[in-house]
A and B are shown apart, each in its own frame.
Chain A
Amino acid sequence: MFWGTCGVVACTLLLKIWPLVPMVISAETRERVRTTVEGTAAREGWLLSDIVLLSVSPETLRLAYRPHLRGPDSDDCLELHTYTGTLRPCP
């Protein structure tokens, strides 16, 4: 039971982390992601705590923007171009 639960938790977490691996293994990518996300948040007025990073690729970041407030929150999936800072809805 315990080991089964640990296995399920581990699989769930690994599935979540896998798209973020480029950021985990490369300090340069991590820094680029940080500056891009912080710059976009400052430009759009977003709170960093409303952003969840979903995946990282060489040119784009996929993120969920969810402004938290009482009641149902909207949940937008967005693609952010890391060099131009362009935002567009996820395809």
Chain B
Amino acid sequence: MPVVSITILRRYLLVVLLQCFAILLALVQSLNGVRTDEAKYLLNIPYPHPPLLRFLMGNTEAFPFQELFWRLLFATLLVQAVWIVADLGRSLATEKRVTLCLLWLTAGSLLFQAGTVMMAPITALQGLIVVWFFLKSKKLDAGSSQLAGVALFWLASLFTAYQAVLYAPVVWGIFRRNGCSSSRASVITVVPIALLLLYVAGNPLAISSFISAGGQNAGSSYEGITGSIVVAWLTAGSGILSVLGTYGALRSGRKELFISVLLLFTFLLVSFRAYYAVLFLPLFIAGVAAHPAVLQKSHLVAAAQLCCAVLLLAQTPLSIGSSPARHVMQRINDLPGTGVVLIHGSFGHEWQYESRIPILRYRSALLSKSKAVVCLERCPEVARYGFYQIANMGEEVWIRR
């Protein structure tokens, strides 16, 4: 009995320690303020991703600490997901299992992305659940409610973010391993993707966003893109997990895992963003879990991974500079009077997030209905229309007299 109590106590202590780690990761990210992509999800701006998660996020707009709430929630989910990783390594010796968990917790993509309010970390978490089903699920009846649950989870993952489609080979593998025929597994995997395409067809803004994302690598050299992808791949698993996970995925004989890794590389070639690195993470963990021979010298692996993670952290300066949006909009929000805010120049959604007043793009014809003008580019004619400039704002801000 006392042994059981100590085990439970140790588990609670671990949960608390992990939670402290998650809080730390969320707080570090909050130092940067809300970024444009984060604002897009927090305000439920309808592009580019499907609505499932951003709709929930948009419904919390009234929370005074909405941004921190989601940072903490996302960081908690990513960090506490180590229990899923631990379950993946259930058949391993304790040392190897602990090393597998350590590989997850010290992966660069988790350290740098767990506290961000982005879709990619959540897609990675969904990917981890998918690989858990792939590696752990025992024979389920082809018509069982559990298999229907997996299919629904796949549908939900796709309607959270498009990038979940990169795990399609693994999803197909789950159905195949659980007794579905090849054609049935293909239909269950493809129908949700077809529904996603139907969603895209009704959202011209999402389509134009795809076209823009697809062409964003066009101006970069082949060497430049390849270099960025290699850096993202290495950072995703802090080096050691990246190498072991990819090798494990290749050697495990689970071709679905390796095809997913290749799909992800191809996707990055077309549309690179550094934050997609976290999408590698579940595939790396699955690679190691499926081919545990890579953990033969687990002490050495753990020590090398820790060193790489520390080096990675040491080389990354702590970014504290938030955009001027919060500072400027706080001032404008507090001003009396009515009217919109005009912004001149290129700006992100964080300006909308910080505003209590509708924001329009600057045009001199709209000055008559504006309360304030923010000039991120010079707008010399504003002074002629009865506006005065506020000093010490960092940006050129004009207020109606």
Question: What distance in Å separates the Cβ of A10 from its nearest Cβ neighbour in chain B?
Answer: 6
Which chain A residue lies CB-closest to B354?
A70
Partner of B195, one of A13, A48, A68, A74: A13
A 25-72 contacts with B by CB, 8 A:
33-34, 42-53, 67-71
Contact string against A for B residues 180-191, beta-carbon threshold 8 Å, 1 for contact and 0 otherwise: 000000001001
Contacts of B151 in A (CB 8 A): 2
Q: Is the CB of A13 within 8 A of B342?
A: no
A90 at the interface (CB under 8 A from B): no
Q: Is the CB of A69 within 8 A of B43?
A: yes
Chain B interface residue bracket vs A: 35 or more
Q: Is the CB of B198 within 8 A of A13?
A: yes
A87 at the interface (CB under 8 A from B): no
Question: What distance in Å separates the Cβ of B45 from its nearest Cβ neighbour in chain A?
Answer: 5
Which chain B residue lies CB-closest to A53?
B204
A2-B148, A45-B360 known; A69 vs B201 contact (CB < 8 Å): no
- Considering the chains assembled together, what is the distance between the CA atoms of A33 and B357 in angstroms? 28
Number of A residues near B (Cβ < 8 Å) is 33
Question: What distance in Å separates the Cβ of B159 from its nearest Cβ neighbour in chain A?
Answer: 8
- Considering the chains assembled together, what is the distance between the CA atoms of A45 and B343 in angstroms? 9
A88 at the interface (CB under 8 A from B): no
A70-B356, A71-B356 known; A46 vs B361 contact (CB < 8 Å): yes
Max count, chain B CB within 10 A of own CB: residue among A5, A20, A74: A5
B199 at the interface (CB under 8 A from A): yes
Number of A-B pairs whose CB atoms are under 8 Å? 92
B352 at the interface (CB under 8 A from A): yes
Q: Is the CB of A5 within 8 A of B202?
A: no
A17-B198, A69-B356 known; A49 vs B204 contact (CB < 8 Å): no
Contact string against B for A residues 1-31, beta-carbon threshold 8 Å, 1 for contact and 0 otherwise: 1100110011001101100100110000000
Max count, chain A CB within 10 A of own CB: residue among B43, B202, B355, B360: B202
B4 at the interface (CB under 8 A from A): no
Contacts of A74 in B (CB 8 A): 358
- Considering the chains assembled together, what is the distance between the CA atoms of A91 and B349 in angstroms? 31
Question: What distance in Å separates the Cβ of A13 from its nearest Cβ neighbour in chain B?
Answer: 4
List 27 A-B residue pairs with CB atoms under 8 Å apart, sorted by A's residue number. Answer: A2-B155, A5-B152, A6-B155, A6-B192, A6-B195, A9-B159, A16-B202, A17-B202, A20-B202, A20-B204, A24-B201, A42-B361, A44-B360, A45-B342, A45-B366, A46-B360, A47-B360, A47-B361, A67-B358, A67-B359, A68-B352, A69-B355, A69-B357, A69-B359, A70-B61, A71-B61, A74-B358
Which chain A residue lies CB-closest to B360?
A45
Contacts of A6 in B (CB 8 A): 155, 191-192, 195
Max count, chain A CB within 10 A of own CB: residue among B151, B192, B201, B357: B201
Q: Is the CB of B353 within 8 A of A70?
A: yes
Question: What distance in Å separates the Cβ of B17 from its nearest Cβ neighbour in chain A?
Answer: 34
- Considering the chains assembled together, what is the distance between the CA atoms of A51 and B204 in angstroms? 10
Which chain B residue lies CB-closest to A34?
B204
Max count, chain B CB within 10 A of own CB: residue among A13, A17, A69: A69
Partner of B47, one of A5, A49, A70: A49
- Considering the chains assembled together, what is the distance between the CA atoms of A85 and B145 in angstroms? 53
Question: What distance in Å separates the Cβ of A78 from its nearest Cβ neighbour in chain B?
Answer: 15
B62 at the interface (CB under 8 A from A): yes
Q: Is the CB of B152 within 8 A of A1?
A: yes
